[in-house]
Amino acid sequence: MELNVNEERLRLVLQITNDGLYDWDLQTNEVYYSPQWKAMLGYADEELENQLSTWLHLLHPEDRETTLKYAKDYISGIIDRFEVVFRLRHKHGHYISVLSRACLFRDADNKVVRMVGTNVDITKIGRLTETGSLQEHFHRVLLSKFPFAAWLKDKEGRYQVVNVKLAEYLGLSSPEQLIGKSVHDFYQPDIADSISAEIQDVLSSGKTIHVEKEFPVNDGDRWFDIHQTPISVDGQLVGIVGCAWDITGRKLIEKALAESEERYRRVVEVSPEAIFIHCEGRFVFMNVAAAKLLGAEKPEVLYGRLALDFVRPELRDMVAQRIKNAWLHGDNPLIEEELVRLDGSTVLVEMVSVYLIYKGKDSVLAIARDISERRRMQDELVKTQKLESLGVLAGGIAHDFNNILMAIIGNADLAMMRINKESPVIENLRKIEQAAAKAADLAKQMLAYSGKGKFVVEQIDLNILLEEMLHMLEVSISKKALLRLNLAPNLPAVEVDATQLRQVVMNLVINASEAIGDKSGVIAITTGCMDCDKSYLKDVWLIENIREGLYVYLEVTDSGYGMTKDTMEKIFEPFFTTKFTGRGLGMAAVMGIIRGHKGAIKVYSETGKGSSFKILLPASGKPAELFNHESSIDDWKGSGTVLLVDDEETVRGLGREMLQELGFEAITADDGREALELFKNNPAINLVILDLTMPHMDGEQCFRELRQIRPDIKVIMSSGYNEQEVTQKFVGKGLAGFIQKPYKLSVLKAAIMAVELPTF
């Protein structure tokens, strides 16, 4: 009976209300729509079926997803109130706005089984005002749920309305705690005064003010984006409305980005690498290193210039294609490029290019490194290694050649001593000796190139040496060439082998004369002294030995045709010559001699204008000494037993005869091991002549073994290499002397005479 009364009461309510009602059975998805609901959309009661599909069919497509989700959230308990606006299609095709409210019905098991609600047409503004629900909803959400702070203040700065977020920022439990209070109640005086001043600015200007400021809140300092707008009533300013968004995260990101950009800017500015950015082919950015690389003092000078203007014309198409590949395919290989500077000079660089978006535009970032010096050093290293390899080859050949010449010169020398002076064979022997001497000179030049020629180092005055050579030089050059000496006074002494230096001067002067040829010309020999630093010495030959400091120089200049670049690259190579005849060893010998003296050579040449060879020799602080001090050897005879050790049979045989000619008893051995056995078994041996290079046991090891057996034994070392190189191995070890192959009897006699031999 009670149920029938309730149903009748509900029927009467439905009849008198103008709102459309619906009853949604969640078990079957059937929906009862009241006649008023259907009439609201222009339909008669029988025209629409009571199905969920009816509502979905009429619901605006743009509202469907949002409204369904809202209903599901309400049914599942995610939200506790269903109040939503959506649009339904009227029978005549237009849409009306509907405010929908609902409640849920549960069964005995507390399971939601039905959703019953009303739909109100709020399309007309009068109806919207009448309900007032949307404004209330808006105010409620604004004050309670919006994620930014909002407030209303009177013109004295007292809070009239505030939302939950502002109270939360100030560490308060409810917004009501702020009502009637001002910022002076919550902030320190300086901060409160600053905020009050901003309020007065809004009120006095009548305009919205927007600022970004940092404020202390309950959990620390935060940045806020603040908008404050004045409120007018009947033309009178009565207060302000404000809101503030927490932008601390954005500020932190901006700060990190600014710091990152600053670091990047500083890195780019101080980077020694040249960094360019070009957009649409024109420079839009570059650092100072890039500007200087291209010959400008400041980057701004080159902004707007075409990047391809700094590429050699014949390479521009290829470079343009490479830039295009960097854009399209990310193709950015490391390449070597020759750039053209503002003054027209070129610079070799190593460069990589990559695609980049710069200020919103497709651009190319290029990083370049000047490798001119590295390339020069690489070329210098290759040149040095090449010369060193050729030097080793030349030295090895000359060493073996000397052993052969030893037999020729020695036997010819002995034959001339023993034969009747009236014999017609004497002339033949002299010719043999002369030819052998020339061959020995050739071997010396090869050794000189290898830097292993015989050096007798002494202190000399370079000017005196040149003055003494003047007549010999004049008769050695073309009659059409004029020789001039430009000698600087008071030159420091140099430590050189005078004979070797004479050969250098002679080779350079003859080379200059041949460069002049049959034309008239001038050969100038200039001396001087100069301090050489790294920048001056970087372009010299033999840079591996050179040091900064004081150098005496000898410069030979000619007015000949000059040399091409290819010729200059090969001028010091053995057997290279530009003449139809000749061995091509003269300049190679010059190179070797200067190498051995720890000097350097600078070469200047220009086709059509002549050449200049500048020899740099380290200056010595010691006074110059006379270098013409050859002494004659009186007739002398020796006595005793000499052990001659050499792996060449011809040298042993010839050496035995020479020693016997000098009055010695000679014993020979072909290597170090045999020499030690003979030495142990012959205590009468008072001198050992020991070859440096031998198989099985070389001269250096044999020397040590001999000194262990008898510490006072006198040993003369023999080698095709120069004395300086050999004797430095035995400094302080008691080596008695040195003799360089090939040697004549007189040279052997002088070497033995210089040794104080013990007598037995």
Whichever domain contains 703, its CATH number is 3.40.50.2300
CATH number at residue 48: 3.30.450.20
CA 588, CA 497: separation in Å to the nearest integer?
17
pLDDT at 454 over 50: no
Same domain, 687 and 727: yes
The reply to whether 148 falls in a domain is yes
Among 70, 97, 131, the domain boundary falls at 131
Lowest mean pLDDT among 263-267, 640-644, 694-698: 263-267
Same domain, 528 and 568: yes
The reply to whether 341 falls in a domain is yes
CA 373, CA 361: separation in Å to the nearest integer?
36
Same domain, 474 and 603: yes
- pLDDT-derived band at 13 (thresholds 50, 70, 90) equals low
The residue ranking higher by pLDDT, 220 or 442, is 220
Burial 451-475 (b: 16+ CB within 10 A, else e): bbbbbeebbbbbbbbbeebeeebee
CATH number at residue 494: 3.30.565.10
Same domain, 123 and 157: no
The reply to whether 262 falls in a domain is no
Peptide bond into 742 cis (omega under 30): yes
Q: Which of 230, 247, 240, 244 is nearest to 182 (CA)?
A: 240
Q: How many CB atoms sit inside 10 A of residue 676's CB?
A: 19
pLDDT digits 0-9 by tens, 648-693 = 888 888 888 889 888 899 999 999 999 999 999 998 899 999 988 8
pLDDT at 314 over 60: yes
The reply to whether 459 falls in a domain is yes
Same domain, 520 and 653: no
Same domain, 610 and 674: no
Contacts (Cβ under 8 Å, ≥6 apart) of 159: 151, 152, 153, 178, 179, 180, 181, 182
The reply to whether 394 falls in a domain is no
Same domain, 159 and 245: yes
Q: Where are the alpha helices (DSSP H) in 571-719?
A: 586-596, 649-661, 672-681, 699-709
The reply to whether 436 falls in a domain is no
The reply to whether 265 falls in a domain is no
Same domain, 234 and 294: no
Among 107, 131, 155, the domain boundary falls at 131
Residue that is written with structure tokens 């057997």 in the block? 575
Same domain, 475 and 612: yes
Domain count along the chain: 5
The residue ranking higher by pLDDT, 630 or 301, is 301
Domain extent, residue 495, equals 455-620
Q: What is the pLDDT of residue 622?
A: 52
Q: Report the pLDDT averaged over residues 401-405.
A: 74
pLDDT at 739 over 70: yes
Phi-psi group of 715: left, alpha or beta (phi > 0 → left; psi -120 to 50 → alpha; rest → beta): beta
- pLDDT-derived band at 216 (thresholds 50, 70, 90) equals confident
pLDDT at 448 over 60: no
Lowest mean pLDDT among 102-111, 561-570, 739-748: 561-570
Among 315, 336, 370, the domain boundary falls at 370
Q: What is the pLDDT of residue 110?
A: 84
The residue ranking higher by pLDDT, 390 or 43, is 43
Cα angle 502, 441, 403; round to 5: 140
Same domain, 707 and 559: no
Same domain, 47 and 179: no
Tell me the average pLDDT of the chain.
Answer: 79
pLDDT at 625 over 50: no
Q: What is the pLDDT of residue 643?
A: 94
Q: What is the pLDDT of residue 679?
A: 92
The reply to whether 92 falls in a domain is yes
Query: DSSP label at 159?
Result: E
- Long-range (24+ apart) CB contacts under 8 A made by 431-438 are 432/408, 433/409, 436/405, 436/408, 436/409, 436/412, 436/742, 437/409
Share of the chain above pLDDT 70, in %: 82
What is the pTM for the complete model shown? 0.36
Q: Which of 120, 38, 115 is nearest to 86 (CA)?
A: 120
Same domain, 670 and 542: no
Q: How many CB atoms sit inside 10 A of residue 646's CB?
A: 27
- pLDDT-derived band at 702 (thresholds 50, 70, 90) equals very high
The residue ranking higher by pLDDT, 452 or 411, is 411
